[in-house]
Amino acid sequence: MKIIIAASSLALLSALGGAAPMQPAIAPGSDEAGHMQDIGWEVRPDGGDKGQLRLQLRHKLSNGDMSLDAGLGARRPEFAPVRDALGEGGPVRFTVRHAAGTLDCSGEAVRAFEGKGRCRFAPNTAFTRALAERGLALQSTAEQLSMAIVDATVALADGLIAEGVRPKEADDLIAAAALGVTGDYVREIKSEAIVLTDIEDAIACKALGVDGAYMRGLAAAGYRKLNADEVVAMKAMGVTGDYAQAMNRAVGGNAN
């Protein structure tokens, strides 16, 4: 079951900006300083709804597609300059600054809030060193760009490590960020019903929509020390705590 979920997660990452693993330290299309070039950007209306915009970032090793709607500012304030620059037609320039690095972009708006152009990504070497100190050595500039796109941060890595699900490699942190697997999420789903010590297990649980309420339901039904594969399988089959309790009553037993 976890293999199926992993495949689904990889499909999601291809849309959110997952980088190909084990690329050269300086990816093709980068200069000697590791600055990534030839990144295309495009902003367009999302489904034709006024004010609902999407930003696409395209590079042969790292792609991203994200909303620029009004709610983005609270979650990803570093992308606010994109919308600000596209208030009217004509030449545009904007800079996106993330802990992982900086995107310097220019191009043309064909009309208000619709345009395209090119970007150059400058990775932050302090960010690279901080991840390496945590055993997360980056293999390419494309991986670092992916981290900027999905908002993978050192704080996220530290939160996961603190909860006992240490990312083993950069791709684990990218996947966790893309799916919203945080230290708070891991803490929420931990219970006597599950043994959770692996980042891949936490990612699989999140991909299937396992949350704290679901795990509390299983615990109330008498389940103890399930592994993540069992929890993911139960969630995928629609087994809830209430259903488990009803089945236990029907057979006169419990989950233990």
Do residues 145 and 51 share a domain? yes
Q: Is 91 a domain residue?
A: yes
Tokens encoding 239: 């087994």
Residue that finishes a domain, picked among 132, 149, 166: 149
pLDDT exceeds cutoff 60 at 128: yes
Tokens encoding 114: 């619709």
Distances, alpha carbon 242 to alpha carbons 75, 207, 227, in Å: 35, 22, 20
Give the 3-state secondary structure of residue 107. Answer: strand
Q: Is 69 a domain residue?
A: yes
Q: Is 155 a domain residue?
A: no
Do residues 4 and 121 share a domain? yes
233-247 tens-digit pLDDT: 999 999 988 877 787
User: In the structure, what pLDDT confidence band is assigned to residue 19 with cuts at 50, 70 and 90?
Assistant: very low
Do residues 195 and 137 share a domain? no
Tell the burial category of 76 from Cβ atoms under 10 Å away from its Cβ (0-12, 13-18, 19+): middle
How many domains are there within the chain? 2
Do residues 123 and 244 share a domain? no
Range of the domain at 186: 181-251
User: In the structure, what pLDDT confidence band is assigned to residue 88 with cuts at 50, 70 and 90?
Assistant: confident
Tokens encoding 213: 């309420």
Structure-token match 């930003």, residue found = 55
